Chains A and B, each alone.
Chain A
Amino acid sequence: MTMIEMHAITREYSTAGAVVRALVDTDLTVEAGEYVSILGPSGSGKSTLMHILGCLDSPTSGTYHFEGRDVSRLNRTEMAHVRNQGIGFVFQRFHLLPRSTALENVATPLRFARWKPKRRRQRAQDLLERVGLADRLSHRPAELSGGQQQRVAIARALAMSPRLLLADEPTGNLDTQAGAEIIELLEEVNREGTTVMVVTHDGALSERTPRVVRMLDGKIETVTGLSR
């Protein structure tokens, strides 16, 4: 089943009077359950592609179908539901709510999905146990290491059991040991059936993904490996 179908996606930004084309005429298809890495130098358009895939940004032109739905036709509330229910996003800089505890951070998407407080607490607790942070439930982000913060971010991304997990350089700010733990966690999530797409500079990580998308100057240069 095709999960992602992008056709002729272009994303332009206007900066100081000049138009910057971050993504140019990009086509991409991803099947459900795939594990894909996106490689490329800085400024090649990897993050822009991920943001459009995660419905965090809108393309200037082109069409994007997520699970068969044309995303450009959705209103802001429907888009919010897609982000909440269908897609989990892990940011390079974690982006945790600084005043909330690990438990509250993980429970945030559940709050927007109107889960009852007791149920969302239980779910957030289960997820934090799963990422090895059972003893850090009440800690705030500032009290956690980088690796722990990223694990909280992954637990949060998994809170609504999304069909697609997007991770934008999830090991970029971590040491080797913490990075390896995160990679294992992402593989485990993929093994359970979730489609995982990871932006990375890390060759070791991309070697472990069956499919690698290489980008350069806003375009997909090569796609190695076959889609399942």
Chain B
Amino acid sequence: MGLFLSQLRDLWSEKGRVGWVALGVAWGTLSLTLLVGFGSSFVRGANTTIENFGVNLLRIGGGATTRPHKGMSAGRPIRLRPEDEPWLQSQVPEAEAVALEYSSGSGNPVRYGEQQVNAPLSGCGSAFLELRGMIPQSGGRFINAMDVEQHRRVCFLGHRTKQRLFGDAAAVGALVEIDGAPFTVIGVRVPTVTVASYNGDDRDKVCIPHTTFRDLRGWTGISFLFVKLQDPDMKRRLIRSVYTALGARHGFDARDEDALDVQDYLAIQDMVNGMLDGNRYFNGIVGFFGLLVAMLGVMNVMHAMVEERSSEIGLCMALGATPRDVAQERVVEGLLVTLLGGALGLATCAGLMALIRQVPLEAEVRAYLGDPVLSMELGLVVVLILALAGCVAGWFPARRAAALDPISTLREE
């Protein structure tokens, strides 16, 4: 304890130089924890936008044939039908789930009292809850099998449409008009940003049971079939199976790629994951060099600090300090300075991240920025590495001074 206090006092008397070492450690710790904190947060955010849309999905729409098939000419449009959903489910074992959707773009009037918005409209089933991440806010629910079976006039609102119609007031239980018909709001989607969108933004989308949609609009054909893969590696095989199954049903050649419009969300998913991997490597390289620069800075100043005090080391040796005492004092000194700097860096990082979490940002920016949090484990590892560098840099000149006769270093003064 005596040694510790004496070292603290010694350090305090060298505030300037100690400040530079501590600042070096603080800077190294701060930049690395910020880099990793934001990097991880970006990865989490990007993954969340993928999960919000739905993972391992293919969206199948109708296309037009380009090959004659069984006496039918090329150029024939393919219209998908509701019955394709159970058919595909039974014919494609690689699919974990299949769900149909009627989708109408952004021009569908939705009214609540005096408020009216034009929103994208989706006719879907209960499978969308899992498949497309239609997670309701508390107090509400998504469309269920009974709603579909009984053609109920219920709707599930995207959170931005809800906000535009209701503001901060509760929406669940309220009656809205869609295409002039009354619908009961059964739920509101949690605020989300998705990695992809089609026929309007998910945050605006209004979902109703697909049976009700068909009643309302009289559509005979569906817009899309969503297929979720059990195993992303089976994608090629699954697509072949889809073409074969639907080709047999709609009368087109299974090799005719344009007969269907296949939107591959797995490819988007892979692209984002590739970018995230690149980001990880980049962060790793920048972090490594940042740590290296901080280490060199700390080592340089610690080395100079101990070199300058070699006459004091000689004096302590003259008064009976053993080489071990000398080395120990330098190690304690190095530890104190680096721990001080490390604590400063970690505290600053935690403060900055807390501040950033409070800053009001656009939902899209927030979705990718995420909520950065301080990685205490990483911070401690960085402080430990810098502490080790500081101790080593102080220990070597101290050991050299301690290996000389005390008078050699005293004479230098």
Cβ-defined partner of A99 (8 Å) among B9, B317, B324 = B9
Q: Is the CB of B322 within 8 A of A112?
A: yes
* Chain A, range 110-153, C-beta contacts under 8 Å to B: 111-113, 117, 120
**In angstroms, how far is the closest chain B Cβ from the Cβ of A35?**
22
Given known pairs A51-B407, A56-B406, the reply for A100 and B6 (CB within 8 Å) is yes
Asked whether any CB of chain B lies closer than 8 Å to the CB of A188, the reply is no
Asked whether any CB of chain A lies closer than 8 Å to the CB of B10, the reply is yes
Main secondary structure of the interface of B (DSSP, over half): helix
* Chain B, range 1-31, C-beta contacts under 8 Å to A: 1-3, 6, 9-10, 13-14
Asked whether any CB of chain A lies closer than 8 Å to the CB of B321, the reply is yes
Q: Is the CB of A56 within 8 A of B320?
A: no
Asked whether any CB of chain B lies closer than 8 Å to the CB of A81, the reply is yes
Asked whether any CB of chain A lies closer than 8 Å to the CB of B319, the reply is yes
Cβ-defined partner of A113 (8 Å) among B316, B320, B406, B410 = B320
**In angstroms, how far is the closest chain A Cβ from the Cβ of B236?**
74
> Bound complex: CA of A77 vs CA of B14, how far in Å?
29
* Chain B, range 386-404, C-beta contacts under 8 Å to A: 402-403
> Bound complex: CA of A83 vs CA of B314, how far in Å?
12
> Bound complex: CA of A89 vs CA of B319, how far in Å?
8
Q: Which residue of B lies closest to A96 (CB)?
A: B315
Q: What residues of A have a CB within 8 angstroms of the CB of B130 in the complex? A: none
> Bound complex: CA of A161 vs CA of B343, how far in Å?
43
Asked whether any CB of chain A lies closer than 8 Å to the CB of B405, the reply is yes
Q: Is the CB of B407 within 8 A of A112?
A: no
Given known pairs A56-B410, A97-B312, the reply for A108 and B405 (CB within 8 Å) is no
Q: Is the CB of B3 within 8 A of A111?
A: yes
Q: What residues of A have a CB within 8 angstroms of the CB of B253 in the complex? A: none
Q: What residues of B have a CB within 8 angstroms of the CB of A84 in the complex? A: 319-321
**In angstroms, how far is the closest chain A Cβ from the Cβ of B311?**
8
| Size category of the binding interface on chain A | 20 to 34
> Bound complex: CA of A95 vs CA of B321, how far in Å?
15
Q: Which residue of B lies closest to A113 (CB)?
A: B320
Q: Is the CB of B9 within 8 A of A81?
A: no
Q: Is the CB of B319 within 8 A of A56?
A: no
> Bound complex: CA of A54 vs CA of B9, how far in Å?
29
Asked whether any CB of chain A lies closer than 8 Å to the CB of B63, the reply is no
Given known pairs A51-B407, A77-B324, A99-B10, the reply for A112 and B316 (CB within 8 Å) is yes
Q: What residues of B have a CB within 8 angstroms of the CB of A57 in the complex? A: 405-408
Q: Is the CB of B323 within 8 A of A111?
A: no
Q: Is the CB of A80 within 8 A of B321?
A: yes
Asked whether any CB of chain B lies closer than 8 Å to the CB of A46, the reply is no
> Bound complex: CA of A84 vs CA of B315, how far in Å?
12
**In angstroms, how far is the closest chain A Cβ from the Cβ of B318?**
5
Asked whether any CB of chain A lies closer than 8 Å to the CB of B51, the reply is no
Q: Is the CB of B319 within 8 A of A156?
A: yes
Asked whether any CB of chain A lies closer than 8 Å to the CB of B258, the reply is no
Q: What residues of A have a CB within 8 angstroms of the CB of B413 in the complex? A: 93, 95
The 5 A-B pairs with the shortest beta carbon distances in the complex, nearest first, are A84-B320, A99-B13, A56-B407, A80-B322, A112-B320
- Which B residues form the contact surface with A (CB < 8 A)? 1-3, 6, 9-10, 13-14, 312, 315-325, 402-403, 405-408, 410, 413
